[in-house]
Structure 1
Amino acid sequence: MADSDSGEKTEEPTAKKLSDARKKGQIARSKELGTMFVLVGSASALLMTGESLVAALSTMMKRLFSLSREETMDIHALYQVVSDSVASVAAPLLWMFFIIMLAAFIGNTLLGGMSFSWGAMAPKFSKLSPLAGFKRMFGVQAMVEFVKSLLKFFVVFIVAYLLLSGLFDQILGLSLESIPNNFGHAVDMLLWMFMALTFSLIIIAVVDAPYQSWNHNRQLKMTKQEIKDEMKNSEGNPQTKGRIRQKQYEMSQRRMMQEVPNADVVVTNPTHYSVALKYDADQGGAPVVVAKGIDEMAMHIRTIAKEHGVEIVQSPALARSLYYTAEIDQDIPEELFAAVAQILAFLFQLKAHRKGKGRRPQALAKNLPIPEEFRY
C-alpha cells in the first residue's frame, strides 16, 4: 500500500499519455542525429553535384568576364546574359539544396516521427524564470549536453588528426602539381575529408538517439495513482456510470409500461411473473413481447392491464418460459407458438362470446404444450 501511494513514477506511460504528450509536441528528438544527417547530406550533395556546379560556375564567370561593348551598353542584353548565367548554375544548386533538405527531413523525423503542435510553439513564461534557467544550466540535462560536446570534440579531433596524418604527403605534393590540376585535387581531398569528418558524427548519433528515446520515456513515466485516475477518467466514474445505467433502466421501464395498454393479453404466474403480449392478426407473424417483469414490476404490469381492460391469463409455466426466453420488442420463440396460440384462440372466442356472437369457450387447458427445455 505504501508503494502504491509513494508517488514514485515507476509505471510505463500509457498510450493516452504518449498521445497527449505528442499533441503537446513532447516527442523524442535527437539533435545529434539531425545534425549528422544534414552534414552527411551536404557532403554527399557536394560530391554528387560539385563537378557540375564548378563547371557551371566556371562557364558563368567566363561569360560574365567576356562581355562585349555592345552587351554592356544594352541593358536588355545585359539582363539576358545575367539570366542565362544564373540559369546555368540553377540546376546543380537546386539538386544540392534538395539533397540537403531531404537529409534534414529524414534526420529530424527518424526518431519520433513527424509532429506539428501549436502547444510546442506557444511561449512558455516559465522559461523566463532565472531560477529555472539556473537549474537548466547546472542540471542533469546540461551535464549530458556537456559530455556530448566533449565527446564530439574528441571524436572529430581524432578523425581529423588521422586524416591529416594519412594525407600529409598528398597535401605537400599539391605544390608540385600544375595549375589548375592541383586546385581540383585539393578540392577533391577537402570534400572527402569533409565526408569522413561528418561520418565520424555517426558515433555520437548512435549514442544520443537511444538515450533521447530512453529519456523521453523516463520523463513520461507515471505513478500508479496517475494510471488509476486516467482509467477512471477514460472509462468513467463507477458511481456516475451506475447512475447513468439506473436512469437508462428507468427510461426503458417507462417506455415498456407505456406499451402495456396496447397489449392483447398479459400472461401471469400469477404472483411473481407477468408478460404482456401483442398480436397483430392483420399483419400476421408471431406475437411480440411488449413488457415483462417480476415481483413488483409484474404487479405493476397487471395493474396497468386492469386499468385499460387488457385480458389477464394465469399460466405459471408459460409466464416463466416467456420471461426467460423472450426479449422485449422481439417475437416469442417458435417453440412457444403452440402454447401462446391456444391462449390467443381462447381470448378471441371469449371476446366473440361477450359480443353475443358465439358460445362461451371452454376453460383454458392447464398443461399447455411447452417443451421441456423451455420450462423454468
Structure 2
Amino acid sequence: MAEGEDKDQKTHDPTQKKLDDALKKGDVAKSQDLVTWFLLFISTLVVATMAAGSAGGLAVPLKNLIANADLVTVDRAGGMRLMISLILAVVVAVGLPFLGLFVAGIAANLVQHRLVFSAESLKPKFSKISPMAGAKRIFGPDALVNFLKGLAKITLVGVVIFTVLWPQRSTIDSIVRMDVEMLLPHTFSIVMSVLMAVVAIMAIIALADYVYQYQRWYTRQKMSIQELKEEFKQSDGNPEVKGKIKQLRRERSRKRMMANVPTATVVVTNPTHFAVALKYEPGMVAPVCVAKGMDLIALKIRELATASDVPIVENVPLARALHASVEVDQPIQEEHFRAVAEVIGYVMRLKGTMR
C-alpha cells in the first residue's frame, strides 16, 4: 500500500517532454500582476511624456469648433463631416498611447513565456459548468489565497498612496483656490508622484507574484514514478525516436572514425570500393583497425589519408578480407598477420628510404 501511495506522489521534476506538452496545451506560468504592472508602467510613461501633446491635439479642433460654431452646418452631410473630423482628432491624439498599451500587454506575456497558440482552452469541459467545480473555485484554497493576495495588494498600494499624499495635504487643500493656470501643473505633479509610487510598489508585488505563480506551475508539472515509467516506455517504443537515436549514433561513430584516419599507419584499399585504415606501433600485439568503409566512406578515408600523408596501398583481396572480418577499434585476425605485416613492412621501408 505504501508503494502504491509512493507511485501517486508527484515528487519528481518534470521531463522536457512534459513541459513541452504543457506549453502546447497553453498551460504556462503566468502572473496577472506582472501584466498589470507593464500596463501601469506604460500608462505612467504616456502621462509623463504625451499628456500635454495629446491634450493639445484635442484642444485645437475643439477650440476651432467653439469659435466657429455659427459656421457649422447642421444638415446630414455637415454633421457627418463634423463627426468624422472629431473622430480623426481623437484617434490621432490617443492612438499612440493606446498602441503603447497594446505593445505593453504583449510584452508582459512574452516576458513570462514564449508565444503560444493553443485551442485547448476553447474545448468544452464539464468542469466549467459543473456547480461543484464552480463552488470549489469560489470557496477553495486557491480562492482564499487570491482573496488574501488582493487584500494585501490593496493595503500596500493604499499605504503608499497615503504616504505620498500626506505630506502634500496643504497643497491639495489649496487647489480649490488656485488659478486655472496654476491648477493644472500642481495637479499633474501630484498625479505623477502617486503614479510613480504605485509603479514602484507594484513592481515588487508583480515580481513576487510571478515567482509564486511559477513555483505553483512547476509543482503542478511534477511527475510520479509511474508517469516517468510510462513516458519512458512511450519514448523508447516510438520507432521514429529509435530511428533518430540510431542515426545520431551512426553519425557520431562515423565522425569519430574519420578523426582517427590521420593517426593510421597505412590504408589498404580496393581501388574504388573498400578502404581499411590500420594503425601499428611498436609494442602492439597486432595492428588495429581505426577506420573502414565502402564506396563514399572509402573515398572519404582515402582523401583524409592523402591530406594527412598516410600511405595508401592497393591490395584488393586483403582490403576485402579485412573489411569483412575486422571491426573498428579491434585488432586484425591471426590469419591476416602475414599479409598485413608485409604491407606495413613495405610502408616502413618506404618511409626509411624517404628519410
TM-score with structure 2 setting the length: 0.65
Residue 78 (structure 1) shift: 5.2
> Is the Cα contact below 8 Å between 1:36 and 1:199 reproduced in 2?
no
Quote the residue 2:59 is aligned against.
Answer: 58
Partners of 1:287 and 1:35 in 2: CA distance:
69
Aligned pairs for 1:240-251 within 5 A: none
For each residue in 1:18-73, what CA deviation from the matched residue of structure 2 results, as whole angstroms up to 9, or x when unmatched?
00000000000001111121122222212221111222222232222223544325
Quote the residue 1:92 is aligned against.
Answer: 93
Quote the residue 2:43 is aligned against.
Answer: 42
For each residue in 1:104-123, what CA deviation from the matched residue of structure 2 results, as whole angstroms up to 9, or x when unmatched?
12223311232110112223
For each residue in 1:146-205, what CA deviation from the matched residue of structure 2 results, as whole angstroms up to 9, or x when unmatched?
221111111111012112202211111213321243144324423432342243222221
For each residue in 1:109-143, what CA deviation from the matched residue of structure 2 results, as whole angstroms up to 9, or x when unmatched?
31123211011222322222222223223333222
Q: Secondary structure at the match of 1:371?
A: helix
**1:205 and 2:206 correspond:** yes
Residue 217 (structure 1) shift: 0.4
Consecutive unaligned residues in structure 1, runs of 5 or more: 246-283, 289-324, 344-365
Amino acid at match of 2:131: P
> Is the Cα contact below 8 Å between 2:44 and 2:192 reproduced in 1?
yes
Quote the residue 1:142 is aligned against.
Answer: 143
Quote the residue 2:119 is aligned against.
Answer: 118
> Is the Cα contact below 8 Å between 2:38 and 2:108 reproduced in 1?
yes
For each residue in 1:51-99, what CA deviation from the matched residue of structure 2 results, as whole angstroms up to 9, or x when unmatched?
1122222223222222354432566555545444443443330111011
**1:151 and 2:152 correspond:** yes
> Is the Cα contact below 8 Å between 1:17 and 1:220 reproduced in 2?
yes
Greater displacement, 185-194 / 145-154: 185-194
Pick closer, same or farther for the CA change 1:44–1:237 going to 2, 3 Å. closer
- Larger % of helix: which? 2
Pick closer, same or farther for the CA change 1:229–1:335 going to 2, 3 Å. farther
Partners of 2:99 and 2:42 in 1: CA distance:
10
Q: Secondary structure at the match of 2:9?
A: coil
Partners of 2:336 and 2:149 in 1: CA distance:
90
Quote the residue 1:218 is aligned against.
Answer: 219
Partners of 1:227 and 1:188 in 2: CA distance:
59
> Is the Cα contact below 8 Å between 2:35 and 2:105 reproduced in 1?
yes
Greater displacement, 96-105 / 38-47: 38-47
Quote the residue 1:370 is aligned against.
Answer: 339
Quote the residue 2:315 is aligned against.
Answer: 337
Amino acid at match of 1:60: P
Identity %: 29
Quote the residue 1:169 is aligned against.
Answer: 170
Give the root-mean-square deviation of aligned CA atoms.
4.1
Residue 100 (structure 1) shift: 1.1
> Is the Cα contact below 8 Å between 2:73 and 2:79 reproduced in 1?
yes
Aligned pairs for 1:1-376 within 5 A: 2=3, 6-72=7-73, 76=77, 79-236=80-237, 285=271, 337=315, 370-372=339-341
Amino acid at match of 2:315: F
Amino acid at match of 1:154: T
Quote the residue 2:328 is aligned against.
Answer: none
Partners of 2:47 and 2:273 in 1: CA distance:
84
Residue 14 (structure 1) shift: 0.6
Partners of 1:40 and 1:368 in 2: CA distance:
81
Pick closer, same or farther for the CA change 1:371–1:65 going to 2, 3 Å. same
The structure whose Rg is larger is 1
Quote the residue 2:329 is aligned against.
Answer: none
Partners of 1:230 and 1:169 in 2: CA distance:
68
Consecutive unaligned residues in structure 2, runs of 5 or more: 247-269, 275-290, 303-311, 322-334, 344-355
Pick closer, same or farther for the CA change 1:72–1:192 going to 2, 3 Å. farther
Residue 368 (structure 1) shift: 10
> Is the Cα contact below 8 Å between 1:44 and 1:195 reproduced in 2?
no
Where relative contact order (Cα < 8 A, 6+ residues apart) is larger, the structure is 2
Aligned length: 278
